[in-house]
Structure 1
Amino acid sequence: MEFILVDPQARQHVALIRLNRPKELNALNLQLMGELRDALRQLDEDEQVRAVVLTGNERAFAAGADIKQMAGKTAIDMLLADQFATWDQIRKTRKPIIAAVSGFALGGGCELAMTCDMIIASETALFGQPEIKIGVMPGAGGTQRLTRAIGKAKAMEMVLTGRFMTAAEAEKRGLINRVVPVELYLEEALKLAEEVAQMSPVAARLAKEAVNRAFETQLDEGLHFERKNFYLCFASDDQAEGMSAFIEKRKPRFKGR
């Protein structure tokens, strides 16, 4: 792959994907997004991988979409290219994904971070949806996920003015999990991924699915979905192992079965 670097075993049961267009501040062109989609699909099928960390570099997680690829397009060109089908496939990744963000996470970069399940940010991280400044608007989930994360008023301000949000404010508003010094942001994300990877892979997938469903359904339907997934846990060997280990006061040995 040309624009991403993949380490399937950066830590035990944890894969690391690094966006790798440093000269372009990791701008998200079609090829990079296709490579990311394919890598996540392969990691989703890898039984040795239980969690994924997605990062860029200290200067930029991703500074947005590649505007040069879009500048001359017509509405029909964009419709036929269907670039958001790739985003939909990334969103359907079953394993937990943690974004490790430093520097710019703007436009598509902010949207990509929000597509992940958790976000660890460095003190230098800046989040924003500045598409309005070039005559367009967010198109990969920015208006929807940002509003759900920080509320209508703040999301409207960011989307309509292009204002950036600092890491400290993003943590306060609930957009991210925590802020750490820039030299620790990737290590902190890997540690969080390791913690997740120690849990039952079956339960983690079902739990991720249920939490995401909360944003898509009414409460009654969401509760029904949660209970269905809860019952499904009892069909796994991991459930029997986890409860036995608790009773026997030992550490469980989950196998993802």
Structure 2
Amino acid sequence: MTGYTALQVEELDDRLVVTLDRAAQRNAINAEMIEELHDVCAHLERTPKLLLLTGRGEHFAGGADIGQLRARTRDDALAGINRNLFDRIGRLPLPTVAAVSGYALGGGAELAYACDIRIATATARFGNPEPGLGIMAAAGASYRLPVLVGVSVAKQVLLGGRVLDANAAHTAGLVIEVTEPGAHVAAAHRLLDRISASAPLALRLTKTIIDAPGFHPFADDIAQAVLFETEDKHARMTAFLEKKA
């Protein structure tokens, strides 16, 4: 996975580490980055692995590239350019973790919302100032943020212009951990180490069930039935019992 210009990608045995690499522009999300992230998604769909997503320099992503955004038309909006990418990231088979420092604003915040779990430094700021630019946060914030933090806090961010600092994001449940500046990527790797110790199929089915809309107890039963018959389940439980003995 080489040849990218807006990303840096490192592939490890159990995970992909993707760094947004436009530090001079606060990692603003442009068309090139979108295309390259689609390529990353295609790779993870073919070869499921954990994903760690972070940004180069002080910031995660300061938003979409405003110059490109200003030129977009009604047809571009109807094509859901950013939304389709973030939805695709949200559907990736195995867990995804965003390691956020500094600004995660606009499209950058929506990219972080699309990940399963977020870790932030004390410098992190999450916000969606799109209405101030005459548009709305239309790449997933309207349906992801209320689920993540509740409708009241989501309205404070999306309508009231509230920016959540790291402590507020942690209190609201948006982030799992707040670290010192520069320690967020290492913390994300520790989290992924814990996740990686679990059975991949169990993780995949659990994520699918959690993200499925509505009340679905029978789907839980089917997923569990599949897992009960795997060699991985028998080996893990045998090892647990033998260790306990």
State whether TM-score is above 0.5. Answer: yes
In structure 1, runs of 5+ residues without a counterpart are 251-257
Kindly provide the amino acid, as one letter, of the partner of residue 227 in structure 1. D
CA contact (8 A) 1:8 1:43 kept: no
Q: Secondary structure at the match of 1:98?
A: strand
Q: 2:10 aligns with which of 7, 11, 25?
A: 7
Distance between the aligned counterparts of 1:106 and 1:95, measured in 2? 25
77-86 vs 93-102, greater mean Cα deviation: 77-86
Give the structure 1 partner of residue 152 of structure 2. 153
Residue 169, structure 1, aligned to residue 163, structure 2: no
Give the structure 1 partner of residue 132 of structure 2. 133
Q: Are residues 230 and 81 of structure 1, via their aligned partners in 2, closer, same or farther at CA, if it must alter by over 3 Å?
A: closer
Q: CA deviation at 1:80?
A: 4.6
How many residues get paired? 241
Residue 143, structure 1, aligned to residue 151, structure 2: no
Q: Secondary structure at the match of 2:5?
A: coil
Kindly provide the amino acid, as one letter, of the partner of residue 229 in structure 1. A
Q: Are residues 212 and 17 of structure 1, via their aligned partners in 2, closer, same or farther at CA, if it must alter by over 3 Å?
A: same
Distance between the aligned counterparts of 1:83 and 1:105, measured in 2? 15
**Counterpart mapping for 1:27-38 below 5 A:** 27-38=28-39
Kindly provide the amino acid, as one letter, of the partner of residue 143 in structure 2. Q
CA contact (8 A) 1:3 1:20 kept: yes
Distance between the aligned counterparts of 1:13 and 1:159, measured in 2? 36
CA contact (8 A) 2:157 2:163 kept: yes
Q: CA deviation at 1:77?
A: 3.7
Q: CA deviation at 1:83?
A: 4.4
Give the structure 2 partner of residue 67 of structure 1. 66
TM-score with structure 1 setting the length: 0.88
Q: Secondary structure at the match of 1:37?
A: helix
Q: Secondary structure at the match of 1:161?
A: coil
**Counterpart mapping for 1:1-257 below 5 A:** 1-9=4-12, 12-46=13-47, 49=49, 51-80=50-79, 82-213=81-212, 216-217=213-214, 219=215, 221=216, 223-249=217-243
Q: Are residues 84 and 143 of structure 1, via their aligned partners in 2, closer, same or farther at CA, if it must alter by over 3 Å?
A: closer
Q: Secondary structure at the match of 1:87?
A: helix
Distance between the aligned counterparts of 1:97 and 1:107, measured in 2? 20
CA contact (8 A) 1:41 1:93 kept: no
Q: Are residues 147 and 8 of structure 1, via their aligned partners in 2, closer, same or farther at CA, if it must alter by over 3 Å?
A: same
53-62 vs 129-138, greater mean Cα deviation: 53-62
Kindly provide the amino acid, as one letter, of the partner of residue 232 in structure 2. D
Q: Are residues 126 and 224 of structure 1, via their aligned partners in 2, closer, same or farther at CA, if it must alter by over 3 Å?
A: same
Kindly provide the amino acid, as one letter, of the partner of residue 109 in structure 2. C
Q: Are residues 33 and 77 of structure 1, via their aligned partners in 2, closer, same or farther at CA, if it must alter by over 3 Å?
A: closer
Distance between the aligned counterparts of 1:166 and 1:45, measured in 2? 36
Distance between the aligned counterparts of 1:169 and 1:71, measured in 2? 31
Q: Secondary structure at the match of 1:62?
A: coil
Kindly provide the amino acid, as one letter, of the partner of residue 32 in structure 2. Q
Distance between the aligned counterparts of 2:124 and 2:208, measured in 1? 28
Q: CA deviation at 1:210?
A: 1.5
- Structure 1 residue ranges, 4+ long, deviating more than 4 angstroms after superposition: 80-83
Q: CA deviation at 1:15?
A: 2.1
Q: CA RMSD in A?
A: 1.7
In structure 2, runs of 5+ residues without a counterpart are none
Distance between the aligned counterparts of 2:59 and 2:231, measured in 1? 42
Q: CA deviation at 1:88?
A: 2.7
Distance between the aligned counterparts of 2:129 and 2:161, measured in 1? 4
